[in-house]
Amino acid sequence: MTDCIFCKIIKGEIPSRKVFEDDLVYAFHDINPLCPTHILLIPKRHIASLAEVSAEDEPVLGRMLSIARRLAEENGSSGGFRAIINTGHIGGQEVAHLHLHVLGGPEPVGRMVSPRG
Ligand code: 5GP
Ligand code: ZN
């Protein structure tokens, strides 16, 4: 995807603070952290969202979930973390390249979602 900011980050066309990379995934610090630890973990292949995945994506989805704990531990959240995948308009997804937020820090991160008001 030529127009996708996260594809450009993977290619190095947009700078990022990388924390991990392997054959399937790329991870970097969120530019606007919501917690002391805020890592974005993305598939290297462009997948628009969790609503667009198919069985062929299972290896990369498994890698994303299995590497999250290590990324949290190595980046200041050794006592656990929260993993979030915002999906589509209802899920509040802003960047149309699937990404797992890994959130944490020294203190509990708080409520999962704000009550509607
Ligand atoms: P979403 O709302 O789609 O789940 O999350 C998108 C996330 O991407 C946001 O937390 C936002 O701060 C982050 N983000 C957007 N553009 C960039 C960028 O160019 N670099 C980095 N490191 N993070 C970005
Ligand atoms: Zn992309």
pTM for this one?
0.97
In the residue annotation, 99 being an active-site residue is answered as yes
Ligand nearest to the CA of 28: 1
Q: Is the pLDDT of residue 11 over 70?
A: yes
| Domains of the chain, CATH where assigned | 5-104 (3.30.428.10)
Mutation test residue for ligand 1: of 31, 64, 89, 100, the one with most atoms within 8 Å of CB: 31
Distance CA 32, CA 59 (A): 29
Chain CA centroid to CA 56, Å: 19
Atom 5 (ligand 1) nearest CA: 94
Task: Compute the distance from residue 75 Cα to the ligand 1 centre, in Å.
Answer: 18
Q: Is the pLDDT of residue 58 over 70?
A: yes
Higher pLDDT, 5 or 115: 5
> What residues contact residue 1 under an 8 Å CB cut-off, 6+ apart?
7, 46, 97
Q: Is the pLDDT of residue 94 over 80?
A: yes
Q: Can you tell me the mean pLDDT for 66-83?
A: 98
